[in-house]
Amino acid sequence: MADLLDFDSRPLLSLLPEGLAARLSAAATPVDYDDGETIHSRGDDKPGLSIIQSGAVRFAIPGADGSYITTSILGPGHCFGEAILFAHLPRAYDAIAVGETRVEQISKPRFDRIFDEEPALARLMLEATTQRLYAVLEFLDDVRRLPLLVRTAKMIAGMARSAKNAEEVECSQSDLAFTLGVSRVSIGKALSGLQDERLIVLGYGRIGVPDRAALDQWIADRTPLQALKRGE
Amino acid sequence: MADLLDFDSRPLLSLLPEGLAARLSAAATPVDYDDGETIHSRGDDKPGLSIIQSGAVRFAIPGADGSYITTSILGPGHCFGEAILFAHLPRAYDAIAVGETRVEQISKPRFDRIFDEEPALARLMLEATTQRLYAVLEFLDDVRRLPLLVRTAKMIAGMARSAKNAEEVECSQSDLAFTLGVSRVSIGKALSGLQDERLIVLGYGRIGVPDRAALDQWIADRTPLQALKRGE
DNA sequence: TTCAAAATGCTAAATTTTTAGCATTCTGAC
DNA sequence: GTCAGAATGCTAAAAATTTAGCATTTTGAA
C-alpha cells in the first residue's frame, strides 16, 4: 500500500530553490523508520517541521473498533507539522511510516530561525499549504456530488499519477475503502464496474491502469464542472 | 441564511496586530455588495486578496441542475483569494455575498509589497490557512465516521459558535442539507431527532439552541476521539 | 389584509450502502 | 512445495438515503 493519495498537491520540497532546501536539510536530523513504525501519535505536541525524504507517511486516527481510518498519505518531498508550528494545534493524527521511510526533522527553534531569515520560505510554504487546502476542498466536493464509481476512478487516477510505475497502483481494496470512507463491498462493486468499462485491471493488492489517458477522459466526461480546477 | 459554516477557524483579521491590519486596510479598496450579488465567478483570475469586513461570503459551485452546492461560508475577518495569490490556481468557486457585505480588495502588487515588507504577515497567514486546512480535514473525517445525526449536531454547534445571537442559528433546512451534502429529507429527520433529544428547537428558517453547553456535551459523548483536536 | 413565495412536514417507493458472513484465490515465508 | 495469512469475490438481509411527490405553515412584500 503505497501512494494512496497525497491530495494532488505539489510537495513543498519541489517548490524550494536548491539553496533553501539544502539549508533546511542541514538543520535537520534524519530519522529512519521501518514499515508500520509510528512517527508520532495523536496528541503529541513536540513541535517541529518534518520533511519526507523517501518512503511515505500515513496519517490516520484509530477507530473505535481498532481499525485505522486513513486521512491522507504523503509522499517524498511533502512536509508535515505545520499545524503544530503555525496553528498551535496538537498532532491531530497518528503518523505511520509506509515502507522504509526517511524523515528529516527540524526542531522548532531551528526552523523558526531559517523561516525568519529566508523570506522566500514563507511564500513557498503558503503555496504548498494552500494547494493542499484546495485539494482537500475539491475532494470534499467530490464526496458530495459524485457517485462512488466516479470517485473511485478519480482516486485511482490520482494514485497512478504519483505512482512510480504509472501502469499500476499498489493498493488493496480495503485501503481504498478506508480512504474513500466506504465499505469494502461498495469498493468491490465500483472496481468491478470500472473493470467492465475496461478502464482498470484488477489484481491482487494492485490495480492496473493500462491507459491512463482513457481513464482521465472517462472521469472528465463525468465531472464537467471541475475541468478548470486542473488549470486550463 | 447567515453564518452557515466557516469551518471553525480563526479569521485572519483577528490574528493581525493592529498596525498590520491598518496597513492592509489602507492598501485596500472597499467594495459593497448586496445580498446575493456575485463577488467573483469560478474561473476568474484577477489576483488579489480579499478581506471580509462585514456580512458573509458563500463559496459555491453551480450544480448541473442549476442549484448551488455550497462549499463554505466565511464571515467577517476571514480572507480569501490566497489560492490565486500563492498557489496560482484560478478561482475554484463562485463567491456570492450573503446579506449586505463589504469586502476589502487588495490588488496583487499592493499585497505583495506589504507581504514582503511585513515579515509577521506570512506567519499569520500560514496560521490562518493551516487552521482552515485542518478544520476541513476534520470535517472530512466526520463525513466518513459520524452518523448524520451527530454531524448535523456538530454543524449546528459550529454555526451557533459564530452566530451573533448564540441562542439561535439562522439557516434553512435546505441550506443545511446542501452544506452537509445530504437530502432535505435526511436533514429533516436528523433535526427531528435532535429536537426529540431537546437539544434544538426548530423554527422557520432558524434553529434554536437553548443550551449550547448541553449540545456540546452531547456531541462530545459521541465523538470521543476528537476531543483533543479542540485543544485540550 | 392579502397573497405568493419560501420553508417545513410528511409519505412511500426506489436506490444505495452497510453488515456479516463464508468460500476462494493469491502471495511470500519457511 | 507447503501453508498460513492476506486479499478478493460473492451473497443476502438490514439499514440508511434519495427521489418525487404533495399538503401545510410561515413570512414578508404589495
Record: contact A140-B145, CB cut-off 8 A: no
Sign of CA dihedral B177, B182, B183, B185: negative
Percentage of residues in chain B having pLDDT higher than 90: 48
Residue A160, pLDDT > 80, answer yes
The residues that bridge with B167 in the sheet, in sequence order, are: none
Using a CB–CB cutoff of 8 Å, tell me whether B117 touches chain A.
Answer: no
CB-defined contacts A:B, below 8 A: 132
The pLDDT tens digits of the residues spanning B68-119 come to 677 888 888 999 999 889 988 888 888 988 878 899 999 999 999 999 999 8
Q: Rounded to an integer, what distance in angstroms lies between the CA atom of residue B54 and that of residue B102? A: 5
The pLDDT tens digits of the residues spanning A193-223 come to 999 999 999 999 999 999 999 999 999 888 7
Measured between beta carbons, the chain A residues lying within 8 angstroms of B228 are: 42-43, 90, 92
Q: Could you give the strand order of the β-sheet that contains B206-208, starting from the edge strand earlier in sequence?
A: B168-170, B206-208, B201-202
At A1, the pLDDT band (50, 70, 90 cuts) reads: very low
Q: How many distinct helices (H) and strands (E) make up chain B?
A: 9, 9
Q: Rounded to an integer, what distance in angstroms lies between the CA atom of residue A123 and that of residue A114? A: 13
What number of residues does chain A have? 232
Helix axis angle for B108-117 and B18-27, nearest 10°, is 150
Substitution target in B49, B117, B130 with the highest count of A β-carbons within 10 Å is B130
Place of cell 513541535: A47
This model's pTM is above 0.85: yes
Answer yes or no: are the C-beta atoms of B4 and B171 closer than 8 Å: yes
The pLDDT tens digits of the residues spanning A50-104 come to 999 988 888 888 765 556 677 888 888 999 999 889 988 888 888 988 878 899 9
Q: What is the pLDDT of residue A230?
A: 41
Record: contact A122-B127, CB cut-off 8 A: no
H helix intervals, B64-211: 82-86, 108-117, 119-145, 148-162, 173-180, 184-196
Answer yes or no: are the C-beta atoms of A74 and A59 closer than 8 Å: yes
Measured between beta carbons, the chain A residues lying within 8 angstroms of B89 are: 130-131, 134, 229, 231
Q: Rounded to an integer, what distance in angstroms lies between the CA atom of residue B172 and that of residue B75? A: 18
Measured between beta carbons, the chain A residues lying within 8 angstroms of B181 are: 143-145
Using a CB–CB cutoff of 8 Å, tell me whether B132 touches chain A.
Answer: yes
Q: What is the pLDDT of residue B113?
A: 94
List all residues 6 or more positions away from A188 whose beta carbon is below 8 Å from its beta carbon.
A173
Which residues have CB under 7 A from strand D? A 1, 172-174, 184-185, 188, 191-192, 202, 204-205; B 147-148, 181-186, 203-205
Q: Which domains, from first to last, does chain A contain?
A: 12-137 (2.60.120.10), 147-221 (1.10.10.10)
List all residues 6 or more positions away from A70 whose beta carbon is below 8 Å from its beta carbon.
A4, A58, A59, A60, A175, A178, A179
The residues that bridge with A106 in the sheet, in sequence order, are: A49
- How many Å apart are B187 CA and C3 C1'? 29
Q: How many other C-beta atoms are found inside a 10 Å radius of the C-beta of residue A30?
A: 12
- How many Å apart are B203 CA and D26 C1'? 9
Q: Rounded to an integer, what distance in angstroms lies between the CA atom of residue B187 and that of residue B209? A: 16
Answer yes or no: are the C-beta atoms of B45 and B78 closer than 8 Å: no
The torsion defined by the Cα of B80, B84, B90 and B95, in degrees rounded to 10, comes to: 10
The residues that bridge with A52 in the sheet, in sequence order, are: A103
Q: Rounded to an integer, what distance in angstroms lies between the CA atom of residue A16 and that of residue A24? A: 10
The pLDDT tens digits of the residues spanning A117-135 come to 998 999 999 999 999 998 8
Q: What is the pLDDT of residue B98?
A: 81
Q: Rounded to an integer, what distance in angstroms lies between the CA atom of residue A107 and that of residue A16? A: 19
Helix (H, G, I), strand (E, B) or coil at B215: helix
| Binding-face residues of A in 162-201 toward B, CB within 8 A | 181
Q: Which amino acid is residue A137, in one-letter code?
A: L
Measured between beta carbons, the chain B residues lying within 8 angstroms of A222 are: none
Q: Rounded to an integer, what distance in angstroms lies between the CA atom of residue A177 and that of residue A228? A: 28
